[in-house]
Amino acid sequence: MIYTVFYMNCKATQEVCQIIRQQMPPGWVLTTPTEGEDYSAPLSECDFILVAEEVVSAEHIAAAPRLRMIQNQGVGYERIDLNACRERGIFVALTPEGTSGSVAEFTILLILASYRHLIQAAIGVWKGRWMRWELRKTSFDLNAKTLGLVGFGKIGREVAKRAQAFGCRIIYYDPWAPPPTDYAVDRKDSLEALLGEADIVSLHVPLTAANHHLINARTLKLMKPGAILINTARGKLVDEAALFESLTAGQLAGAALDVLEEEPPDPSNRLLHLENVLITPHFAAGTRDALTTKMKAAFANMLRFSRGEALLNVVPELSQLTGENHATQP
């Protein structure tokens, strides 16, 4: 049977869409929107929604009478209306494949770039400044530093594996994640305990109501003087106003953020103008390799649905749904 997949991503280039089509089952159809296009027509004909970062609202779901499954190409699903999905019996599944390793690599990249002032040094060369000595007093090796991971799921564990190769001491805070058995990490009983020890704090938790502004004026004051903050998770985990104050007051040495509270940021965002802040456009998993892996896994899950087989990585809130054409997650 031929199925139609609506790729709900108006910013994807033709090249990206071609990579996606190369992973589709034979005969399946991929429809894509253009920016500003009314989604009603493609939604009315789709069997699956494949979504990256756009909102999937109750109105979108109501406009898709054939829809029975939404496959998120990443792991964050706060933009999808789960209540509307529950009312219609629509599963929402995630795609951790391709994300974990790619984001972990990028996290290490941000740490190293921050510790070595890589962007500042490179821009200096472009502008005719040869800062061989000026940056030395505030540049550091990663070896022997304490890396504190807030969240120890798939991405956090991949970061830990890579950081160990640099000689880091790894500590983490995650009330639900057991420590690994194949390498040494130190589990902390509270976020406060982790913040007080870590030279580098890296966030790897989902955005929930409880985690909103997890890093705020209070928790920033608990961090070691001279520590750096890394965020490749969700922008709203960090109170940006409080982070700005901490950075300008000299409490933190720097921050590297792949995600922001508002994306793209308003040009007036004060963090954009600090030399000790490195900001990238939410592309920690933005490689061709990661996209290919993601799409293989995403379409494999859609195929499971079409065959009535158990789905992988269904969001917990919808894991108890049942239906005649699909099974619950094992």
Q: Which of 78, 263, 275, 309 is catalytic?
A: 263
Whichever domain contains 42, its CATH number is 3.40.50.720
**DSSP β-bridge partners for residue 260:** none
Whether the pLDDT of residue 35 is over 80: the answer is no
- For residues 125 and 229, membership in a common domain is answered with yes
In a domain, 157, yes or no: yes
- For residues 43 and 115, membership in a common domain is answered with no
Average pLDDT value for residue range 31-53: 91
Whether 234 sits among the annotated catalytic residues: the reply is yes
Are 120 and 131 a contacting pair, CB within 8 Å?
A: yes
- For residues 66 and 213, membership in a common domain is answered with no
Whether 263 sits among the annotated catalytic residues: the reply is yes
- For residues 63 and 148, membership in a common domain is answered with no
- For residues 178 and 127, membership in a common domain is answered with yes
CB neighbours of 178 closer than 8 A, spacing ≥ 6?
A: none
- Show the beta-strand stretches assigned E in the chain: 4-8, 29-31, 48-51, 69-72, 91-93, 146-150, 169-173, 186-187, 200-203, 228-231, 254-257, 277-279
- Show the beta-strand stretches assigned E in 126-188: 146-150, 169-173, 186-187
In a domain, 330, yes or no: no
CB neighbours of 167 closer than 8 A, spacing ≥ 6?
A: 142, 143, 144
- For residues 73 and 151, membership in a common domain is answered with no
In a domain, 325, yes or no: no
φ, ψ at 164 (rounded to 5°): -60, -30
Residue 1, judged by CB atoms within 10 A of its CB (0-12, 13-18, 19+), counts as exposed
- Show the beta-strand stretches assigned E in 182-272: 186-187, 200-203, 228-231, 254-257
- Report CA 158 to chain centroid distance, whole Å: 13
Where in the sequence is the domain holding 296, given as residue range(s)?
A: 4-98+287-318
Per DSSP, 43 falls in state H
pLDDT confidence band for 325 (50 / 70 / 90)? very low
Average pLDDT value for residue range 93-113: 96
Q: Which of 117, 157, 204, 234 is catalytic?
A: 234
Cα 10 to Cα 32, 36, 45, distances in angstroms: 7, 8, 17
Whether the pLDDT of residue 329 is over 80: the answer is no
In a domain, 152, yes or no: yes
Average pLDDT, the chain: 94
- For residues 140 and 214, membership in a common domain is answered with yes
- For residues 70 and 148, membership in a common domain is answered with no
Q: Which of 79, 116, 169, 282 is catalytic?
A: 282
What is the structure's pLDDT at 282? Answer: 95
- For residues 143 and 158, membership in a common domain is answered with yes
In a domain, 326, yes or no: no
What is the structure's pLDDT at 182? Answer: 85
- For residues 127 and 271, membership in a common domain is answered with yes
- For residues 42 and 163, membership in a common domain is answered with no
In a domain, 327, yes or no: no
Cα 315 to Cα 58, 71, 227, 281, 287, distances in angstroms: 17, 10, 34, 26, 25
Q: In a 3-state reduction of DSSP, which class is residue 82?
A: helix
- For residues 73 and 147, membership in a common domain is answered with no
Domains in the chain, number: 2
Average pLDDT value for residue range 134-148: 97
pLDDT tens by residue, 232-289? 999 999 999 999 999 999 999 999 999 999 999 999 999 999 999 999 999 999 999 9
In a domain, 329, yes or no: no
